[in-house]
Structure 1
Amino acid sequence: MKMTKKTYLLLALLVAALLFPILVPNQYYLQILILVFIWTIAVYGLNTITGLTGQLSLAHAGFFAIGAYSLGLLTINAGIPFWAAFVLAIVITTIISFFIGIVALRTKSHFFAIYTMSVGFLIYLIIYKSELTGGVRGLIGIPNPAPIGPLTFESIQSYYYLMLFFLLLTIFFMYRLFHSLLGKTFVAIRNSEELAETLGISVMRNKLLAFVISAGVASLSGALYASYVRFLGPQMADIHVAFEILLYLLVGGIGTLAGPLIGTFIVVVLTQMLQFLEEFRMLVFGPIVVLLILFYPRGIVGGYLMWRAKRAKKQKVAEASSTKGENGNAVNH
């Protein structure tokens, strides 16, 4: 099998990610990358419903929080083993999202966004007011991930590789989804629901499936976050978290495969670099993001793909003109 430049680049990035903790054993950098990995998974979840089917969901922080709190409550209160609780947390979130989606997806465009924002706020209020979740105090003492054979997860390096594993698993899943018939069905719905219906596609069923997948991936991210931070507060379900996840997606590129990873990495790293400005960092960061969205409305990856498509089109036109000219010269001779 012939190796392309893209394949070599992906292999180089994978090797760099695997060797990073060995070559750069700086705990601060590792912590930043762990957060990048966790939030990237959440952004991939949002990209499923917003990028592929075109439905702007603002309940994503709520599903993220449900996954995190489910893991915490199942391990602390119910005493369920970590990995069983981890799986159950995702199952619980997908079941809840199924019933929410049945109602939410009866609305369209900005009504859907408003409804899901209300759902997210309701989840925040439940977590904030409920004694079960600890209310304002939150949950403390979430256990470390249980060992898997000889593998233990106590050091920062072990957490790095654990989060990297789940990120790679998510990217592989998304790659298969993007290139599957189901993924193309989601895109057809995004382009035109009326046309999709005329082709025999069940719009409601497929949008609901995308919504459930989106929530499930978000809950995976939330459960990983809970296992890493080991403390949860109601602010993680706040609407500003949903907008942060949306920002990562906008910067990287909605509906693209690499957009969530690139957008999350850039925004999180840039935010950390501007920490010395404290509360004034948004005065620098805000205009940068606005300019990026103005000049690259489809995000960094989307802008690059458009530029590459235009360049390929120009090359085809130039080759066609050159071929036509050669044929003309041959006839004249």
Structure 2
Amino acid sequence: MVSLLKNRGWIIGFIAAGVLFPFVLPNAYFLHILTLAFIWMIAVYGLNLLAGYTGYLSLAHAGFFAVGAYGLGLLTVKTGMNYWLALILACLITSAVGLVVGLVALRTREHFFAIYTLCVGYIIYLIIDKWDSLTGGVRGLIGIPEPSNIGPISFQTPISQYYLIFAFLLFTILVMYRIVHSLTGRTFIAIRNSEDLARTLGISTMKNKLMVFVLSAFFAGLAGALYASFIRFIGPDIGYITIIFDLLTYLLVGGIGTLAGPIVGTFLIVALSQSLQFLQDYRMLIFGPLLTLLIIFYPRGIAGAYHDWRLKRKSAQRTRPQKEQEYFETEESEKQVKEG
């Protein structure tokens, strides 16, 4: 949703809402849920960059999320590495895994690509689940440390961790905005619209696809690493295929291929899920049909629908003066004919 993010008022409003939330609603539970939502938003932005702007739907994102989480967990728990160095290495390890996977996966297209990446994601889950001596297997990994201090700044409280993850989210949005509005971003969109045409124009499609795949894996790993340090306990379930379908739901509801979609979709789905907690298992009877209807009538999601509505409104505003001018000219010509 480019027009939304170009409006400084919306940007300032979003930042102000994020900064003031702990003071306006000082509830530990809501703060915890919103912090988790910020982490999911970062992961969805990585998925959106690949699926929304390049047209390749990767189902290995849950696996990359788990690699980032276990990368930070193992480096801090088993080697005692500094948190910030472990965070950087976890993201780099995830990017390296993404590079290896992408070299093979990107030689396929469409549903073959989706199936291959789904298999890769499941293999990562199996490795985490079965490699008991390294990952702890089904017991998981406990005792993951909180972010270490940066000088006098401490991250030992839930509020400080909330602001830290919110800062990472703002950094992710800024990076995505710069990528999408750069020549590289236009190249990604050209590949999405017609890969064969992009190739005839001299664009190295494989190079660009591999670049966006690695970037997508990087942000998934970043989200996973932040999740591990926030929850402080991880198990193999964070790499299971249900995670990728949750991320896809957030993206489809918010708007695939839009900059505001990951924020809108993640926030709405998380808020709706929490509101329907009292229904327990029956909440999907309400949530499922609503999601289906939204995808049917608004395939570009809420942000995409808003963007289309803005375009139609601007188009109508531009054509209205022209139609009025044509009407008055017709009236004038008819009047002259009658007088003649």
Both proteins in one fold, TM over 0.5: yes
Q: Displacement, 1:79?
A: 1.4
Q: Which residue of 2 aligns with 1:161?
A: 163
Q: Distance in 2 between matches of 1:79 and 1:174?
A: 33
Structure 2 partner of 1:93: 94
> Which amino acid is the alignment partner of residue 107 of structure 1?
T
Residue aligning to 2:137:
135
For 1:1-333, list aligned pairs within 5 A: 6-131=7-132, 132-326=134-328
Q: Return the letter of the residue paired with 2:323.
A: S
Q: In 2, distance between residues paired with 1:133 and 1:90?
A: 18
Distance 2:154 2:175 in 1: 25
- Rounded to whole Å, the distance in 2 between the matches of 1:133 and 1:326 is 77
Amino acid in structure 2 at the alignment position of 1:252: G
TM-score after normalising by structure 2: 0.94
- Map Cα deviations across residues 191-212 of structure 1 (whole Å, 9 max, x no partner): 0001111111111110110100
CA distance in 2, matches of 1:256, 1:8: 18
Please, what is the CA RMSD of the aligned residues?
A: 1.5
Q: Report the alpha carbon displacement of residue 12 of structure 1 after superposing the two structures with TM.
A: 2.2
Which residue identity is paired with 2:266? T
Comparing 317-326 with 78-87, greater Cα deviation is found at 317-326
Structure 1 runs, 4 residues or longer, greater than 3 Å off: 323-333
- Aligned mates of 2:110, 2:13 — CA distance in 1: 40
Q: Partners in 1 of 2:194 and 2:14 — Cα distance?
A: 36
Q: CA deviation at 1:281?
A: 1.3
Note the alpha carbon deviations across 1:164-209, whole angstroms, 9 max, x for none. 0000000111111111111110000000001111111111110110
For 1:87 and 1:327, the matched residues in 2 are separated by 67
Deviations 1:205-224 (A, max 9, x none): 10110100000000000000
State the SS of the aligned residue for 1:52. coil
For residues 108-132 of structure 1, the C-alpha deviation after alignment (integer angstroms, 9 at most, x for no partner) is: 0000000000000000000000020
2:322 and 2:195 mapped to 1: Cα distance? 37
Structure 1 residue 319 displacement after superposition: 2.2
Shift of 1:308: 1.5
Deviation at 1:327, TM superposition (A): 5.5
1:5-47 Cα shifts (integer Å, max 9, x gaps) = 9322321221121111122211011011101100000000000
Take 1:40 and 1:12, find their aligned partners in 2: how far apart are those partners?
18
Aligned residue type for 1:33 = L
TM-score of the superposed pair, with normalisation by structure 1: 0.96
Alignment-mate amino acid for residue 128 of structure 2:
I
Superposed CA deviations along residues 64-119 of structure 1, whole A, max 9, x for unmatched, are: 00000000000011111110000000000101110110000000000000000000
* Identity %, equivalent residues: 57
Unmatched tracts of structure 1, length 5 or more: none
Structure 2 CA distance for aligned equivalents of residues 102 and 165 of structure 1: 32
Q: Distance in 2 between matches of 1:278 and 1:329?
A: 65
SS for the counterpart of 1:106 is coil
Q: Partner letter of residue 136 of structure 1? A: V
- Number of residue pairs matched? 330
